[in-house]
Amino acid sequence: MEIKFFGMTHIIANWKDYLTPAESVKLFTRLVVWEKTHPWPKNISVTVAPSALALGVLTEKFKRTKTRISFALQDIGWAEGAYTGALSARDARALGVRTVLVGHSERRQYFGEDEKMICKKTAAALAGGLRVILCVGETKDERQSGRAVAVVRGQIESILKDSVVVAHLNRLLIAYEPRWAIGTGIPIESSEAEVMHAKIAGQVSERAAVLYGGSVTPQNVAGFIAREHTAGVLVGSASTKFTGLTGIIARAARVRV
Ligand code: PGA
């Protein structure tokens, strides 16, 4: 069984709301210039998820630029039309964007997204032809009380109740992001992440790729992606700096050649 999702390693840069559209254009411009002299192996894919505003600007500005970096939305609604403030799969497709993050812990924690909403968003995005990066992960308390595996299992179970999701597992990636490791500079040990990744892979019958996220840097990325069930990384803060993202791609390239 091919565990590494057809051998691909995915590097997903989540720029959150760190950069304005102008700052995003500046960073992306530097990345595509760097790419020309530092091409990475075919089995590494790089995706940038800027803010929705920046995404509109970037897709327009770089539509004729030759680059292997693709774009993603950071969030999505579950329908189109009378949903003020929302974005749909149709909006993403109109910009040529094929990937969306769903259920990021910041959406769960600060925007009140629950399992039901996350399931609806995941199903709508998959039905709309997008690739979904579903984020799951436990809090510090949940890990300390030995409930991490059960919490993550429950989060995945709730989206597997939807037949649309089950029918499109080949377009689902699951990012395991322990909440206590996000933005703290303290990642989980790669061996511990791998234990969770193997359990997640088993739960989805190895039909969806599993990524790690939470304080990934150029210094620690190799330790994660060298693991059998870790098909890539979801990177926040380090990916918003030129040296951070290029450093991560360069290290990954050395592991994956
Ligand atoms: P971080 O964020 O890399 O800044 O810890 C990861 C994420 O939130 O996806």
* 115 CA to centre of ligand 1 in angstroms: 20
Q: Which atom of ligand 1 is nearest to the CA of 215?
A: 5
Mutating to test ligand 1, I would choose from 136, 182, 241 the residue with most ligand atoms within 8 A of its C-beta, which is 182
Per-residue pLDDT averaged across 54-75, rounded?
Answer: 98
Look at residues 47, 51, 50, 57 and name the one whose alpha carbon lies nearest to residue 131. 47
Q: Average model confidence (pLDDT) for the chain?
A: 95
Both tokens assigned to 250: 């360069």
- What is the per-residue pLDDT for 7? 83
- Pick the residue whose CA is nearest to atom 7 on ligand 1: 236
Residue with CA at minimum distance from ligand 1 atom 1:
236
How many Å apart are CA 219 and CA 188, to the nearest integer? 14
Question: Which protein residue's CA is at the shortest distance from atom 2 of ligand 1?
Answer: 236
Closest residue by Cα to residue 71 from 40, 53, 98, 94: 98
> Token pair of 96, please?
């040529």
Residue 6 is predicted with a pLDDT of 53
Cβ atoms of 173 and 131 closer than 8 Å: yes
Per-residue pLDDT reduced to its tens digit, 20-36? 999 999 999 999 999 99
**Distance, CA of 47 to CA of 11 (rounded, Å):** 6
Average pLDDT over residues 230-257: 95
Q: What is the mean pLDDT of residues 50-65?
A: 97
pLDDT at 11 over 50: yes
State the pLDDT at residue 4. Answer: 47
Who's near 7: CB < 8 A, 6+ residues apart?
43
Residues 47-55: what's their mean pLDDT?
A: 98
Please state the rounded mean pLDDT for residues 26-55.
97
CB 40 within 8 A of CB 252: yes
pLDDT at 256: 76
Active site residue ranges? 104, 177
Whether 8 shows a pLDDT value over 80: the answer reads yes
Q: How far apart are CA 61 and CA 63, in angstroms?
A: 6
Q: Give the Å distance between the CA of 11 and the centre of ligand 1.
A: 12
**Is there a contact between 178 and 138 (Cβ–Cβ < 8 Å)?**
yes
Residue entry with tokens 């995941």: 122
Binding-site residues, ligand 1, Cβ < 6 A: 14, 177, 182-183, 213-216, 234-238
Q: What is the mean pLDDT of residues 125-141?
A: 98
The predicted model gives 106-125 an average pLDDT of 97
Which among 12, 14, 219 is the best mutation to test ligand 1's pocket, defined by most ligand atoms within 8 Å of the CB? 14
Are the C-beta atoms of 212 and 14 separated by less than 8 Å? no
What pTM value is reported for the model? 0.96
**pLDDT bracket for residue 85 (50, 70, 90):** very high
Does 210 score more than 70 pLDDT?
yes
Residue that is written with structure tokens 């091409």 in the block: 39
pLDDT at 1 over 50: no
Residues 169 and 213: beta-carbon distance below 8 Å: no
pLDDT digits (tens, 9 = 90+) for 137-190: 999 999 999 999 999 999 999 999 999 999 999 999 999 999 999 999 999 999
Which of 178, 216, 215 is closest to 197 using CA atoms?
A: 178
Pocket test for ligand 1, best of 235, 239, 241 (most atoms within 8 A of CB): 235
**How far, in Å, is the centroid of ligand 1 from the Cα of 82?**
32
